[in-house]
Chain A
Amino acid sequence: MPPVCWKFIKLHENLAPWVPVVGLEIHAQITSNSKLFSGSQVQFAAPPNSLVSFFDASLPGTLPVLNRRCVEAAVMTGLALNCTINKKSLFDRKHYFYADLPAGYQITQQRVPIAVNGSLSYSLCIDNKMSQMVTKTVRIKQIQLEQDSGKSLHDDARSQTLVDLNRAGVGLMEVVMEPDMCCGEEAAAAVRELQLILQTLGSSQAIMAEGQLRVDANVSVHHPGEPYGVRTEVKNINSIRFLTKAVDYEIQRQIKELENGGTVVNETRAFDSKLGCTVPMRDKEGKQDYRFMPEPNLPPLILYDAKSLPANVNHQQVVNIDWIHERLPDLPSVKRAKLVELYGILPEHSFTLVNEDGLMEFFEDVVKRTQMKPKKVIGWILSDLLSHLKQHSLTANESPISSFLLADLLNLLENGDISSSAAKQVFEELWKGEGKTPLEIVKEKQLELIQDQEELEQICQAVIDEREKEVMAIKEGNKKVINKLIGLVRKATRGRANPLLVKQILEKKLSE
């Protein structure tokens, strides 16, 4: 049973609430040197039609030869998504005429796909509060191997269609998620988690901007207790942000349509990112009959496990599921748990570390190089580094402050060489990326803490002498007022005084 949706939507107080239902079909391009059934190279943004084999152009008489790497990637992904790997899966032809589909059919796995019946757990925060995270699960119906199509470029001015077959035949994994989600945010969180898993496995780079991860969302709404409504499919969503918007827009649109007495038609729609709405796609007139049939040029794909592996078999020619299972890297959820355990950081912090591109590695590099406690390091990573990165739309790998520099800076702080306010100043300087080390900046700006006890005592004395009123208050027992004096000393030293030391000196002097 799908989990009960926690979100009922009510547009009008006097009308029955709506339950939105969202299912996803995600196409992930497999990271592989060559295509699914041919030896052509796979490369993004290569010159048009430069990566096309005879098979990719569907020259008569050419035959598909399955790429082992693509099979392994799909098995890995299936295992990571808790799927049952089918020891025998089949390939099918799906027919339709389109200029960027040279054979007139796509080879896919319609009947018996390589992996079935999995699940994906993902977390999201409620009301944008990091402290209120919930974990949800979406069922994975299946993962199927299939060919990507080429690309058509329509030149309306000259009424021409140009075809680029570089992408034709690139291996895809289609991950079909059951309709267990109920809003854009959930869909986005699930896709983000899937993206992280794929990237961790290396089975897909899953860069949405490069079309390596494309999402189709099936959306419907119904009243609680009633059967599911008619669904629409929003196709080819190419960013997570757009996914949230597209799904939420579509839910609202359907509810409004129904409440105004209209009907939802089963159709494919596209998300217009400029207008922020979904629009019907004009390409398909009526229902297509894909006339599926078994792909006769590919025998059933047989996979083995340790038990079924035949003796004396050439290992290059078989895929062993157990072998792949043993070598799976730590998945994001495991990584998060390990971060919490290893560094004593909060679960929500581990979530951010893992979800932000390269941030976990950055954090761990810093931790390795500094004596500062990880619990303190995380503050710098999340509040200082990450906010700067976000402001400038950068990933951790693109940070102008390397993990080395940040570690150096935190070491200065930890050693008591500089105060934390000075450290913030150094951080700002480092962000400029002028190639200076933290120490150079500290020296240049004279930010190092005053180590000379005598000098510090003189400054404290000067403050005491100027502030009779405060001194009186302290002597009368209002101990809190000492903080004001500490502040004044800090001001006088431009943050270069160690507050603890200052407090000691002041206390000593005031008790004299």
Chain B
Amino acid sequence: MLRASLRQISAALKEGQITPTELCQRCLALVRSTQFLNAYITVAEETALKQAEESEKRYQRGQPLGELDGIPIAVKDNFNTAGIETTCASNMLKGYISPYNATVVQKLLDQGAVLLGKTNLDEFAMGSGSTDGVFGPVRNPWSYSRQYKEKSIPRSDSEPENSNWVIAGGSSGGSAAAVSAFTCFAALGSDTGGSTRNPAAHCGVVGLKPTYGLISRHGLIPLVNSMDVPGILTRCVDDAAVVLGITTTYIFVCSMSLFRRLSQSKLNSIYPIYIFLFFSVSCHVSGSLAGHDPKDSTTVQDIFQPFALPTLTDVSKLSIGIPKEYHVPGLSSEILAVWSKAADLFKNAGAKVVEVSLPHTHYSIVCYHVLCTAEVASNMARFDGLEYGHRSDMSKSTESMYAATRREGFSDVVRGRILSGNYFLLKQNYEDYFVKAQKVRRLIANDFVKVFGSGIDILLTPITLSDAIPYVEFIKEDNRTRSTQDDILTQAANMAGLPAVNVPTALSERGLPIGLQFIGRSFQEKQLLTVAKWFEKQVQFPMIQLEEVKKHDDGVLQHQKSASFS
């Protein structure tokens, strides 16, 4: 039953086939038995069971709050959760308990979701492997799948079986692994340069990065404020739409023309999209979960309409763009083949498939690096050991206390980014780096505007250069090099603020997931997910066969077989 999709399990709850408490207990048991994946930093067993109990009462009264009521979920450990530790996988915030919930967390809880725990990540979400946090690396559940075991040849007999495990991708690797290993039905990640889509691709789950401004960032501990978006990880596209529906409820319809006009304006702003009014009106109706959050001035203010994801049968009116610049050096032939096959799939179904150009793509990753580190340097300034978080014992002077606190609290990766960000922001460098990067960012955003303006509905691209590589291989390169390689196909969507989704597409020769990316127009999540859903149906991505979990677990999966949907 734990392998069911969110919508299936929701139906099962409604029909009384399982109670929220039972469901929560089974998930918690699986979380325990898959502990070796290191997907969770904190498991909130007690509060989860309490929430499940509350949900159960609602079901008993026949008044569940909606499709998410009683559904076990997980949240990346860079979203604030009241009463549950929020660490960002950093020594700086170890033991930090926030007094408030992030807006997205609050919305999920308000809909009756059961929060199982906080998932692992790279420290402050800086990374692409989920290997660089203080709680250790996340292991990709597929490392323990029958599919991988059968196809991968142990390099030598002397090598312990354990060293073959592959990375989960990152930085939301914990969330992706948690969904992939069936420990929860949906998880929140964050996506700044690909942090939701990359691990989704490696772990074979759907990873949605919505349009910048559609979902509130309030309570998400920022990496790059102008690019961060809460991401959604689920087993299938429909589930992502359900969660998005909950996190936004309504989708943007009314003034697309306005946004188009604004996003084409030549003003040199860091916003790919202009959000033009921002005095919050205090009459926030609780329960009505429109996209705008009065606590986040960068969320859209317009009226939204609820949407249901239709099943597309005819793609002949669709125009799919294949950006040639995404054929980057280092792209594995395997991924390239999957990408071409996917394009053919659309073509054969009658869609118009066109090669398009996004000419500034090459410059994107460099600019991303400048803008990212600059905002990181600024955002991290608040961690000084005074108000909260780690404080060094050093007491010689306030300045020496700051220095020691930050040296002890941050990893080399974080400190490295702070250092380069501060360098780019120095008065003498600002024009040469930050302003130039901003200008190029505008060009990159305009590339997309032009392509979509030419009649393209959706862009289809690869999302990773290859399938997931073993941890021992991954750590041979430093975080900076890895991030540059791994974000190359994903961060442009963040630079432009566009919605993008990973759809698991095929298994590699090694039996590991390969995903492809669909990039849509601003605030056109409905169209994006509709196409993704059609594609998902065509490719019939196989379900993970978790051999190892069976070996590790307490018989949870065997027990479920009788009640399973599959």
Interface positions of A (Cβ within 8 A of B)? 54, 57-66, 68, 71, 88, 90, 93, 95, 97, 99, 102-105, 161, 163, 289-294, 296-302, 313-314, 316-319
Residue of B with least CB distance to A154: B398
B226 in the interface, Cβ–Cβ < 8 Å? Answer: yes
Q: Do the beta carbons of A302 and B277 come within 8 Å of each other? A: yes
Q: Do the beta carbons of A65 and B295 come within 8 Å of each other? A: yes
B100 in the interface, Cβ–Cβ < 8 Å? Answer: yes
Q: Do the beta carbons of B382 and A60 come within 8 Å of each other? A: yes
Residue of B with least CB distance to A316: B281
Residue of B with least CB distance to A39: B282
Q: Do the beta carbons of B279 and A317 come within 8 Å of each other? A: yes
13 A-B contacts (beta carbon < 8 Å)? A57-B387, A59-B80, A59-B98, A60-B96, A65-B297, A66-B297, A71-B279, A102-B387, A291-B425, A291-B427, A293-B425, A296-B224, A299-B298
Asked, given contacts A161-B398, A294-B270, A296-B226, whether A61 binds B298 with beta carbons under 8 Å apart, the answer is no
Q: In the assembled complex, how far is the CB of residue A278 from the closest CB belonging to chain B, in whole angstroms?
A: 26
B201-258 contacts to A, CB under 8 A, are 217-222, 224-226
Q: In the assembled complex, how far is the CB of residue A57 from the closest CB belonging to chain B, in whole angstroms?
A: 5
Binding-face segment, B25-33, B371-379, B506-514: B371-379
B278 contact set on A, CB distance < 8 A: 65-66, 298-299, 301, 317
Q: In the assembled complex, how far is the CB of residue A101 from the closest CB belonging to chain B, in whole angstroms?
A: 9
Q: Do the beta carbons of B378 and A93 come within 8 Å of each other? A: yes
Q: In the assembled complex, how far is the CB of residue B387 from the closest CB belonging to chain A, in whole angstroms?
A: 5
CA distance A57 to B383 in the complex (A): 11
Interface positions of B (Cβ within 8 A of A)? 79-80, 86, 88, 93, 96, 98-100, 102, 217-222, 224-226, 267, 269-271, 274-281, 294-298, 301, 374-375, 377-378, 380-384, 386-388, 398-399, 402, 422, 425-427, 430, 434
Q: In the assembled complex, how far is the CB of residue B417 from the closest CB belonging to chain A, in whole angstroms?
A: 14
Q: Do the beta carbons of B277 and A61 come within 8 Å of each other? A: no
Q: Do the beta carbons of A64 and B297 come within 8 Å of each other? A: yes
Q: Do the beta carbons of B279 and A97 come within 8 Å of each other? A: no
Q: Do the beta carbons of B294 and A299 come within 8 Å of each other? A: no
For the complex with contacts A66-B279, A104-B378, A317-B279, 6 further pairs of A-B residues with Cβ separation under 8 Å are A60-B93, A60-B382, A297-B297, A300-B269, A300-B274, A300-B276
CA distance A63 to B99 in the complex (A): 15
Asked, given contacts A289-B427, A317-B281, whether A302 binds B276 with beta carbons under 8 Å apart, the answer is yes
Q: Do the beta carbons of B295 and A104 come within 8 Å of each other? A: no
Residue of A with least CB distance to B397: A159
Residue from A58, A63, A297, A317 with most neighbouring chain B CB atoms (10 Å): A63
Q: Do the beta carbons of A318 and B425 come within 8 Å of each other? A: no
Partner of B386, one of A59, A163, A291: A163
Q: Do the beta carbons of A296 and B270 come within 8 Å of each other? A: yes
Asked, given contacts A161-B398, A291-B377, A291-B425, whether A60 binds B277 with beta carbons under 8 Å apart, the answer is no
A291 contact set on B, CB distance < 8 A: 377-378, 422, 425-427, 430
Q: In the assembled complex, how far is the CB of residue A443 from the closest CB belonging to chain B, in whole angstroms?
A: 60
Q: Do the beta carbons of B426 and A314 come within 8 Å of each other? A: no
Partner of B279, one of A57, A88, A102, A316: A316
Asked, given contacts A62-B218, A97-B399, whether A293 binds B434 with beta carbons under 8 Å apart, the answer is yes
B384 contact set on A, CB distance < 8 A: 97, 102, 104
Partner of B378, one of A54, A88, A97, A105: A105
**Interface class of chain B by DSSP:** loop
Q: In the assembled complex, how far is the CB of residue B79 from the closest CB belonging to chain A, in whole angstroms?
A: 8
B427 contact set on A, CB distance < 8 A: 289-292
B378 contact set on A, CB distance < 8 A: 93, 95, 104-105, 291, 293
Q: Do the beta carbons of A63 and B218 come within 8 Å of each other? A: yes
Q: In the assembled complex, how far is the CB of residue B427 from the closest CB belonging to chain A, in whole angstroms?
A: 5
Q: Do the beta carbons of B374 and A102 come within 8 Å of each other? A: no
CA distance A480 to B93 in the complex (A): 96
CA distance A310 to B265 in the complex (A): 17
Asked, given contacts A104-B381, A297-B298, A300-B274, whether A314 binds B281 with beta carbons under 8 Å apart, the answer is yes
CA distance A58 to B504 in the complex (A): 39
Q: In the assembled complex, how far is the CB of residue B389 from the closest CB belonging to chain A, in whole angstroms?
A: 8
Q: In the assembled complex, how far is the CB of residue A48 from the closest CB belonging to chain B, in whole angstroms?
A: 14
A296 contact set on B, CB distance < 8 A: 224-226, 270, 298, 375
Residue from A71, A300, A301, A314 with most neighbouring chain B CB atoms (10 Å): A300
CA distance A60 to B226 in the complex (A): 16
Asked, given contacts A65-B294, A66-B297, A102-B387, whether A97 binds B402 with beta carbons under 8 Å apart, the answer is yes
A59 contact set on B, CB distance < 8 A: 80, 98-100, 387-388
CA distance A103 to B274 in the complex (A): 25
Partner of B98, one of A61, A65, A102, A317: A61
B224 contact set on A, CB distance < 8 A: 296
Residue from B102, B275, B297, B298 with most neighbouring chain A CB atoms (10 Å): B297
Residue of B with least CB distance to A68: B279
Of all A-B residue pairs in the complex, the 10 with the closest CB atoms, nearest first, are A104-B381, A291-B425, A296-B225, A296-B226, A60-B221, A61-B219, A68-B279, A58-B382, A299-B275, A103-B382
Q: Do the beta carbons of A60 and B297 come within 8 Å of each other? A: no
Q: In the assembled complex, how far is the CB of residue B94 from the closest CB belonging to chain A, in whole angstroms?
A: 13
Q: In the assembled complex, how far is the CB of residue B292 from the closest CB belonging to chain A, in whole angstroms?
A: 11
Q: Do the beta carbons of B274 and A299 come within 8 Å of each other? A: yes
Residue from A57, A60, A291, A299 with most neighbouring chain B CB atoms (10 Å): A60
Q: Do the beta carbons of B375 and A95 come within 8 Å of each other? A: no
Asked, given contacts A54-B100, A65-B280, A97-B384, whether A292 binds B425 with beta carbons under 8 Å apart, the answer is yes
CA distance A293 to B380 in the complex (A): 14
Partner of A313, one of B218, B277, B374: B277
CA distance A97 to B86 in the complex (A): 24
Q: Do the beta carbons of B295 and A99 come within 8 Å of each other? A: no
